[in-house]
Structure 1
Amino acid sequence: MAMRKPLDKAILTALLAGGLTLATAATAAPQGLYSADELTDAEVYGKDNPSEEIGDVEDVLLDDNMQVQALVIDTGNLLDMGSKQYVIQTGHFTVETENGDDLDNIEYKVHVDLTEQEITQQPEYTNDWWNQTKQATAKAWQNTKQSAESAWQNTKAATSELLMDAGQAIDKAGEKTQQAADDAADNMGGNN
């Protein structure tokens, strides 16, 4: 249990830093601060019967930016399919807070906007899923990083070219102005 406390603090910090991308229930006002410890093990309710518990939160998944990407819910024996854990992406659930003013008694309810059948079609939380998703996410992050660097370098090169072109145009304009001034001086000198 002592090992879990640093993880809880890290998740809470991540939730705060990431702005907790969890939405609150339509009838509840945003709380502004959420406890990762209390969110883990929160009761989960599905779209089919919003008052019947279908499982609980097993884990909170964060991305490289420390923002919540998904919840893992343990469904018990949902649709008689045996106890399984499913990954529910952010955007498919809301969090309702109860006793939000009392840290010792704070509780959350997670409402999934999917039917029980749709929940069973979500990715199952397994080692294979974890490893594949972790690799795909890392690759996507690297591609995004490289694209951003490439875009920055292209922007920097284009800006440099524009500045060089502008400098050359100014030099040419200066040369023409100087030439016009010299011509005017010559013409004035010849008229005297």
Structure 2
Amino acid sequence: MAIRKKSAIALTGITLAATSSFALAQQQPDGLYSADQLLDAEVYMQGSDKSVGEIDDVVLDNNMSIKSFVIETENDFGLDGKSYVVQPDQLSVETLQGDKATEPEYRITLKAEGQELSGYPVYNDTWWNTGQTQASDAWEQTKESASNAWTRIKEGTNDLIDSTRDATNDAADDTGDAAENAADETEDAADDAAN
């Protein structure tokens, strides 16, 4: 478990530094955040100094952006020690002064009160499988939308080319007809002048 957690931490550290959706409520932005220190950081309810649990996991999407955080709760607030899934914008992090710059301490605040956390999705196999299905469906819809958009752009471009070609041909025909008429009129005028 320690090896899995450490490799997840390295990937998550990069993601945390690059993700803009994680609400950072602090005096001065750090610019970098340690996933190692973030995992197991205490989570507090808004307006409370009592910990409700800790960050247990970070869920990433296909782009390696943070999709969700998992909060492992204690038996306080009537939460029965379950793990709950929260969105990044539902949390704020405050960086506290640590002993070493590479080991910052964080205070995580959940933007909720009391037992509201029990209304959040429970982190379990059902949640995970549903999330996988939704992500797969969203990917298929994105591919289909992109394909449809490309088809519409291609058809629109072909229509534009055809219409430009037709307009150019019509203009060339009109110019040719005008030139032929002018030549005929010039020839007629020359014939009249000669007679």
Tell me if structure 1 keeps the 8 A contact 2:67–2:88: yes
Give the structure with the larger helix fraction: 2
Following the alignment from structure 1 to structure 2, what is the Cα–Cα distance between the partners of residues 105 and 10? 17
- TM-score, normalised to structure 2, is 0.87
SS at match of 1:95: strand
Q: Is 1:45 equivalent to 2:16 in the alignment? A: no
Identify unmatched segments of 5+ residues in structure 2: 191-195
Tell me if structure 2 keeps the 8 A contact 1:97–1:107: yes
Q: Which aligned segments of 4 or more residues in structure 1 are displaced greater than 4 angstroms?
A: none
Tell me if structure 1 keeps the 8 A contact 2:85–2:120: yes
Identify unmatched segments of 5+ residues in structure 1: none
AA in 2 matched with 1:94:
S
Following the alignment from structure 2 to structure 1, what is the Cα–Cα distance between the partners of residues 109 and 143? 34
Does the C-alpha gap of structure 1 residues 80 and 29 become closer, same or farther in structure 2, counting only changes over 3 Å?
Answer: same
User: Number of residue pairs matched?
Assistant: 189
| 1:131 aligned partner | 129
Following the alignment from structure 1 to structure 2, what is the Cα–Cα distance between the partners of residues 120 and 183? 87
- TM-score, normalised to structure 1, is 0.88
Larger Rg over CA atoms? 2
| 1:15 aligned partner | 16
Match of 1:87 among 85, 88, 99: 85
Does the C-alpha gap of structure 1 residues 103 and 146 become closer, same or farther in structure 2, counting only changes over 3 Å?
Answer: farther
Following the alignment from structure 2 to structure 1, what is the Cα–Cα distance between the partners of residues 163 and 39? 59
Match of 2:68 among 49, 70, 74: 70
- For residue 101 of structure 1, report the CA deviation from its aligned partner: 9.8
- After superposition, the CA RMSD in angstroms is 2.0
Does the C-alpha gap of structure 1 residues 98 and 167 become closer, same or farther in structure 2, counting only changes over 3 Å?
Answer: farther
SS at match of 2:157: helix
Q: Determine what percentage of the aligned residue pairs are the same residue.
A: 35
AA in 2 matched with 1:11:
T
